[in-house]
Structure 1
Amino acid sequence: MKTIGIMGGMGPMATVDLMQKVIVATKAIKDQEHIHTVIDNNTNIPDRSECIFGKGPSPVPEMVKSAERLTTMGADVIIIGCNTAHYFLPEVQKLVKTPFINMIEETAKFCAEEGYRTLGLLASAGTCASGIYKKEFEKLGMTLLHPEEAEQEIIHEMIYDGVKATNYNYDAAPAQNVLRAMEQRGVEAFILGCTEVPVAVQMYKLQGCFVDATEVLAEKAVAWAGGEVISSLPRRSNK
C-alpha cells in the first residue's frame, strides 16, 4: 500500500483525531495490515484565520516545509487536517510535487451523492470568510448556510477557547443553541468544517446530524492508499 502523509500541528489535537480516523477507517486485523502513515506536527505554521483577515503572516512557507519533510519521509499523498489551510492549498501545491487530497472537494462530493440539499457549516471564522466550502457546495447544486454573525462568534470561541485550549469544562450550551437555530432555518445536516469541531462534538456531547469532513478525508485517504475502508459516515435512507 501507499504511504499517507499528514500535515499536522493545525492544531495538535485535531492532528491526533485525523490519524485516529485513518486507523479506524482501515479494515485490518493486525498491525501489518494498517497503512504506513507519517506525520509532521508542525506547530510553527501561522494561524490561517489571522492571515485570511490580514492580521498575521502567510502559512504557506511553513506548509511547504511540512510537505517537503513528509515527502522526504516517503509520503505518496498528503492530507491536511485543517480546513482553513485548504484556502492556501492551490499555492502550496504549485510548490510541492507530492499530490494532496482536497478535503473540501471530497466533502462536497459526499454530500451531493447522499442527496443533501441544504447544509450548515460549522467552522472557524476564517474558513467561513474564505468561502472555500460555499464555492464547492454551490458548484454541485447545494445550499450551504453559515451561522449568523453572533452565532459565528460562539462557534469560533468554542473552537479556540474550548478545544484548542484543551478546556474540557467549557460551556458549549450556546453552541448547541446555534445548531437548533440553524435547523429551524432549514439545515438538514451540519458540515464539521473545522478539525476542532468533531473534537468539540465529542468533548461537549453536541447533538445533531453531522457530516465530519475529517472522516470524509480519512476514508478517501485510506482508499487512495489501497486499504479497505470501514465507513462510519452517515448514510441517508431516503436518498
Structure 2
Amino acid sequence: MLRPIGILGGMGPEATILLQRKLVEAVPVRDDRDHIPLLIDMNTQVPSRIAHLIEGSGEDPGPTLATMARRLQDAGAVALAMPCNTAHHYAKAITDAVNVPLLNMVDLAADHAAGTLGKGGCVGVLASPAVRRTCLFETALQARGLSTVWSTDDDAMLAAIRAIKVDGQSDKARETLRASSKALVEAGADLQFVACSEFSLIADSVADDANAVDTVDLLVRAIVSFSQTGCNAS
C-alpha cells in the first residue's frame, strides 16, 4: 500500500492546491488507489511568516506548525511535507514535535543543486526577502560547496508575492519574476530556484535563458518516492 503523507498547508491555499495538483499529475494511474494518499491540514490561520521574520511584530508560527505536525502524525501520516519555503525556517519546531520525518524542501533543493552543479556552482534564488534573511538556502548550499545570489529588489519581490496571494497571477507579478530571474542570470547563476510557492504559480515566467527548477517540483518527487517506498511490502 502507498503510505500517507501529511501536508502542512494553507501558506497560502493556492500553493497547497498546486502541490496537490502536481502530485495528481506526477503518478501514472489506473484508478483512484494509485494516487498518493494525502492528509492535508489547510490551516490559513498560521501566523504570518513575513510579519514575524521581516516586520518583527508578528507571532511566532513555530508552535502552530508544531500543533499541525502532531495532528497529521496522529491522523496517520508517515512523513510530513510543507509547500512553503519561508516556513522551513521553523522546521525544527516541526521535527521536534513528531517522530516522523519532514521532507525538507530546502535540503532537497540543495541536494539537487549539488548533484547538478557540483562544488563551486552558483545558485540564484527567487524567493521572499524573508527567506534571504533567514539564510536558509545559503546555509544549505554553502555546506555543499555552492554559492548563492539573490534578487536585489526586495520591495518588488515582496509586493509581487503579496499581490499573488490577494489577486492570483498577474502580468505585473510575472514581469517582476522575469526581471529578477534575468538579473540572476546576469549575476552568474548557473541554476535558479523558484523558491516561493506563490512564484511557483507563475514559474513559467522566469527568464528564457534561465536554468530554473521549482522547489515544489522537487518536493513532489520526494513525496512520491517516500509514499511508494515499501508499497509492495504488504
Q: CA deviation at 1:170?
A: 4.2
Using the size of structure 2 for normalisation, the TM-score is: 0.89
Asked if residue 111 in structure 1 is aligned to residue 122 in structure 2, the reply is: no
- Matching residue of 2:157: 155
- Matching residue of 1:85: 87
Q: CA deviation at 1:169?
A: 3.5
1:50-65 matches, cutoff 5 A? 50-53=51-54, 54-65=56-67
Asked if residue 138 in structure 1 is aligned to residue 142 in structure 2, the reply is: yes
Per-residue deviation, residues 65-108 of structure 1 (Å, max 9, x unmatched): 21122123211111011111111111221122232111100111
Q: Counterpart of 2:8 in 1: which secondary structure?
A: strand
- Matching residue of 1:70: 72
Return 5+ residue gaps in structure 2 as ranges: none
Using the size of structure 1 for normalisation, the TM-score is: 0.87
Q: Distance in 2 between matches of 1:224 and 1:18?
A: 15
Per-residue deviation, residues 32-82 of structure 1 (Å, max 9, x unmatched): 111111100001101112212322000012112211221232111110111
Q: Distance in 2 between matches of 1:206 and 1:87?
A: 25
Aligned 8 A contact 1:190 1:210 in 2: yes
Asked if residue 10 in structure 1 is aligned to residue 14 in structure 2, the reply is: no
Q: Counterpart of 1:81 in 2: which secondary structure?
A: coil
Q: Distance in 1 between matches of 2:110 and 2:27?
A: 22
- Matching residue of 1:231: none
Question: 1:224/1:10 Cα in 2 relative to 1: closer, same or farther (>3 Å)?
Answer: same
- Matching residue of 2:167: 166
Q: CA deviation at 1:184?
A: 1.1
Aligned 8 A contact 1:2 1:35 in 2: yes
Q: Distance in 1 between matches of 2:12 and 2:176?
A: 23
Q: CA deviation at 1:188?
A: 2.0
Q: Counterpart of 2:162 in 1: which secondary structure?
A: helix
Matched residue count? 223
Root-mean-square deviation (CA), in Å? 1.8
Asked if residue 179 in structure 1 is aligned to residue 175 in structure 2, the reply is: no
Question: 1:129/1:34 Cα in 2 relative to 1: closer, same or farther (>3 Å)?
Answer: same
Q: CA deviation at 1:227?
A: 6.2
Matched to 2:52, the amino acid is C
Q: Distance in 2 between matches of 1:210 and 1:196?
A: 15
Aligned 8 A contact 1:103 1:214 in 2: yes
Aligned 8 A contact 2:70 2:97 in 1: no
1:40-55 matches, cutoff 5 A? 40-53=41-54, 54-55=56-57
1:11-50 matches, cutoff 5 A? 11-50=12-51
Matched to 1:110, the amino acid is H
